[in-house]
């Protein structure tokens, strides 16, 4: 039997009881009868629970940030694996790294079940294919210096677990982001870090693009942004490696040089033009004051 077939038929990760992501929210039982204003207020009050839940997991999130930063320092990469909204958010976060931090596209990658077509429309059954997740890990030649983050709101997505299982086989660091604290994970599959806050049920039962989507976006924001800070991609709170590919970003680059050197706007522009719009070179040449 082929290795990927073994992964596909391996015992699945289970939830010891119904995941909060699938439970009905008692506060929204009459959602279809509520006024628009009341339903907006309800959704906002539910979303407010997200930051509180993540704050309670801040130490774990910080641990994950440090793991990612060490991987980058050792020449490793960060991979996000997910299906549906989880996969799309991984691709979104990864795609923002090259323009924001001037990183190679390979450094942070988002891989979604069903491939790029799944970014725009649902690919039926893609999330149920554990073998596909494992194949993607092999295709990317994931190794011991890399970090693989599996994102699955309910925590049981086979595509994600196929990727995490293969990553562990290759001695990569495996991290799970989910919103089900009731998982039963076989020891051989257990990731190094599990971030699993309980956000409670969604306003619309099972619609994990809501609170779970918000929480996922916040966690991924922290993983990449703070890891990039740790590896020196930021001075003060300024994105000194930004790739100024349009007028707005060129203006930002000039203001960053002004902030770091106290030069005039015109002087900053001249320094950037002389140095190929590389902020670090412009700042070093002008002298940081």
Residues marked as catalytic: 96, 127
How far is Cα 260 from Cα 238, in angstroms, rounded to an integer? 9
- Look up residue 163 and give its DSSP letter: H
Helices (H), the chain: 3-9, 36-55, 58-73, 84-101, 130-139, 158-169, 211-230, 247-261, 265-274, 279-286
Vertex 184 angle, CA 227 and 221, to 5°: 20
SS3 labels along 218-279:
HHHHHHHHHHHHHCCCCECCECCCCCCCCHHHHHHHHHHHHHHHCCCHHHHHHHHHHCCCCH
């Amino acid at each position: 039997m082929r290795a990927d077939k073994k992964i596909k038929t391996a015992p699945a990760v289970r939830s010891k009881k119904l995941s909060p992501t699938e439970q009905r929210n008692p506060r929204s039982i009459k959602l279809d009868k509520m006024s628009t204003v009341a339903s907006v207020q309800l959704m906002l009050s539910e979303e407010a629970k997200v930051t509180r839940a993540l704050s309670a997991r801040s130490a774990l999130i910080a641990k994950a940030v440090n793991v990612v930063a060490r991987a980058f320092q050792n020449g490793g990469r960060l991979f996000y694996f997910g299906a549906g909204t989880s996969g799309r958010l991984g691709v979104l976060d990864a795609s923002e790294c090259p323009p924001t931090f001037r990183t190679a596209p390979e450094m942070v990658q988002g891989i979604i079940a069903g491939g790029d077509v799944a970014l725009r429309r649902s690919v039926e059954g893609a999330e149920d294919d554990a073998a596909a997740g494992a194949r993607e890990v092999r295709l990317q030649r994931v190794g011991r210096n890399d970090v693989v983050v599996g994102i699955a709101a309910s925590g049981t997505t086979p595509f994600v677990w196929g990727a995490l299982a293969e990553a562990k086989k290759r001695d990569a660091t495996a991290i799970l982001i989910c919103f089900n604290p009731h998982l039963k994970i076989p020891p051989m599959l257990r990731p190094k870090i599990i971030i699993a806050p309980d956000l409670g049920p969604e306003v619309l039962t099972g619609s994990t693009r809501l609170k779970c989507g918000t929480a996922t976006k916040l966690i991924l924001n922290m993983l990449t942004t703070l890891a990039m800070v740790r590896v020196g991609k930021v001075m003060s709170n300024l994105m000194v490696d930004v790739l100024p590919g349009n007028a707005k970003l060129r203006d930002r680059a000039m203001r960053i040089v002004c902030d770091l050197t106290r030069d005039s706007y015109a002087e900053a522009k001249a320094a950037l033009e002389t140095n190929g719009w590389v902020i670090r070179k412009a700042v070093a040449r002008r002298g940081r004051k």
